[in-house]
Structure 1
Amino acid sequence: MEKIIYTLWRNPQDSLESFSQRLRGEVAEQLFTLGARGLQVNLVDADVAPAAGLRQENNRPLPDALLSLWVDSANILFRRPVDEVLVATSSRLAAYLVSESVAIRNTRFPARPGERTYGFSQIAFLSCPPRLTRDAWLDIWRNHHTPVAIDTQDNFLYVQNLVVRALTHGAAPLDAIVEEAFPPAAMTDPMAFFDAPGDEAKFQHNLAAMMESCQRFIDFDKIDVLPTSQYLLKTAAAV
Structure 2
Amino acid sequence: MEKVIITLRGAEPDEKWCARMRARVAADLLDMDLPGLAINLRDDAVRDSLMTLTTMEPPVVAFVTLWTQQSYGEQVTAAVERLQREAEDVAAYLVTESVPLAPPETVPGQRSPGLANVALLRRPADLDEATWLARWHIDHTPVAIETQATFGYTQNAVVRALTPDAPTLAAIVEELFPAEAISDLRAFFGAADDDDLRDRMERMVASTAAFGANRDVDTVPTSRYVYRTPFAINPLRRTVDR
Partner in structure 1 of residue 237 of structure 2: none
Partner in structure 2 of residue 213 of structure 1: 207
Partner in structure 2 of residue 6 of structure 1: 6
Partner in structure 2 of residue 17 of structure 1: 15
The aligned amino acid for 1:39 is: L
The yes-or-no answer on 1:157 pairing with 2:152 is yes
Partner in structure 2 of residue 203 of structure 1: 197
CA deviation map 1:94-141 (0-9, x unaligned) = 00001011111123xx42211111111101000111121111000000
Deviation of residue 77 (structure 1)? 4.1
The yes-or-no answer on 1:80 pairing with 2:77 is yes
Partner in structure 2 of residue 37 of structure 1: 35
Secondary structure at the aligned position of 2:210 is classed as: helix
CA deviation map 1:11-51 (0-9, x unaligned) = x6x95222212222122222222121111111111101231
Residue number among 147, 151, 163 corresponding to 1:168 in the alignment: 163
Residue number among 211, 221, 224 corresponding to 1:230 in the alignment: 224
- Do the aligned partners of residues 61 and 130 (structure 1) sit closer, same or farther apart at CA in structure 2, a change above 3 Å counting? same
The yes-or-no answer on 1:67 pairing with 2:64 is yes
Contact 1:59 1:222 in 2 (8 A): no
Secondary structure at the aligned position of 2:46 is classed as: helix
Q: Distance in 2 between matches of 1:200 and 1:157?
A: 24
Q: Distance in 1 between matches of 2:107 and 2:60?
A: 24
Residue number among 189, 192, 217 corresponding to 2:187 in the alignment: 192
CA root-mean-square deviation: 1.8
Contact 1:101 1:159 in 2 (8 A): yes
Contact 1:24 1:233 in 2 (8 A): no
Q: Distance in 1 between matches of 2:148 and 2:205?
A: 12
Aligned residues with identical type, % of pairs: 37
Q: Greater share of helix residues, 1 or 2?
A: 1
* 1:98-109 alignment, distance < 5 Å: 98-107=95-104
- Do the aligned partners of residues 219 and 28 (structure 1) sit closer, same or farther apart at CA in structure 2, a change above 3 Å counting? closer
Contact 2:67 2:230 in 1 (8 A): yes
Partner in structure 2 of residue 139 of structure 1: 134
Partner in structure 1 of residue 124 of structure 2: 129
Secondary structure at the aligned position of 1:83 is classed as: helix
Secondary structure at the aligned position of 2:174 is classed as: strand
Q: Distance in 2 between matches of 1:236 and 1:132?
A: 34
**Please, which runs of 5 or more residues in structure 2 have no aligned partner?**
235-242
